[in-house]
């Protein structure tokens, strides 16, 4: 078996990841050796008895800022274990996360994910010890842990061998420029609502055409921006 894809997480709340990393596809991928996760408490790199990881901002202002010393020490320890692996800060100031970025990361050597808290990290850490910043949306979260788990989940399913059916990846929403077409399963009729007859026809060509038309109509109605920006993302094949 090939070497597991390494994921290092630096966080003030390592217990946050215990359950999500043990269940479903992610848990199975770890169990089968497709990737490994090391979750490190940033407080382990503090040197004072109070295990201080934050301090007041220079210049004044509300909130606290994550101190550089423990964070950089944690980053250096993770980098020593995995040289060359990108150091990624989960930040609302980062580039918007997308399926394209998930593919880039899955094809890379691994990830070191930094979960910010409070008002963010000391700017010197961002400038000199971070390779990339990623945001999962234009809204405020308590910390970067939720965002890190989103990235882990999206990347995990793209790793070789994790999904049994490769078509599941290529046919999913955002692997193409459109949202997914409507899906139906048994029973054929439920409380007066029927499955579209064409899906029962057995004509694979007509079914494929119907799905394309439905996907395009849904995308134009709900996410026209996907169709508008697609030409710049044409490295999906």
Residue ranges of the binding site: 116, 136-141
Binding residues for S-adenosyl-L-methionine: 116, 136-141
In three-state secondary structure terms, 88 is: strand
Using an 8 Å Cβ cutoff, are 125 and 81 in contact? no
Type and span of the H or E element at 215: helix 204-222
Residue entry with tokens 């999500």: 20
Of 72, 91, 108, the C-alpha closest to 145 is 91
**Exposed / middle / buried, residue 40 (Cβ in 10 Å: 0-12, 13-18, 19+):** middle
The span from the CA of 53 to the CA of 231, in Å, is 44
């Amino acid at each position: 078996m090939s070497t597991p894809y390494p994921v290092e997480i630096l966080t003030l709340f390592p217990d946050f990841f215990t359950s999500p990393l043990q269940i479903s596809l992610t848990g199975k991928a770890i169990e089968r050796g497709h990737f490994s996760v090391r979750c490190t408490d940033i407080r382990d790199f503090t040197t004072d008895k109070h295990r201080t990881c934050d301090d007041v901002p220079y210049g004044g202002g509300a909130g606290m800022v994550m101190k550089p010393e423990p964070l950089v020490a944690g980053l250096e320890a993770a980098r020593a274990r995995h040289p060359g692996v990108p150091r990624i800060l989960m930040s609302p100031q980062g580039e918007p996360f997308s399926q394209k970025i998930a593919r880039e990361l899955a094809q890379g050597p691994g990830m070191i994910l930094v979960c910010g808290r409070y008002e963010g990290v000391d700017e010197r850490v961002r400038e000199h010890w971070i390779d990339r910043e990623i945001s999962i949306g234009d809204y405020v979260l308590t910390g970067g842990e939720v965002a890190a788990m989103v990235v882990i989940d999206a990347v995990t399913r793209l790793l070789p061998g994790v999904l049994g059916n490769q078509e599941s990846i290529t046919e999913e929403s955002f692997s193409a420029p459109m949202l997914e077409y409507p899906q139906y399963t048994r029973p054929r009729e439920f409380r007066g609502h029927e499955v579209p007859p064409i899906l029962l026809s057995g004509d694979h060509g007509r079914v494929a055409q119907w799905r394309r038309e439905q996907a395009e109509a849904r995308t134009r109605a709900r996410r026209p921006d996907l169709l508008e920006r697609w030409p710049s993302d044409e490295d999906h094949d």
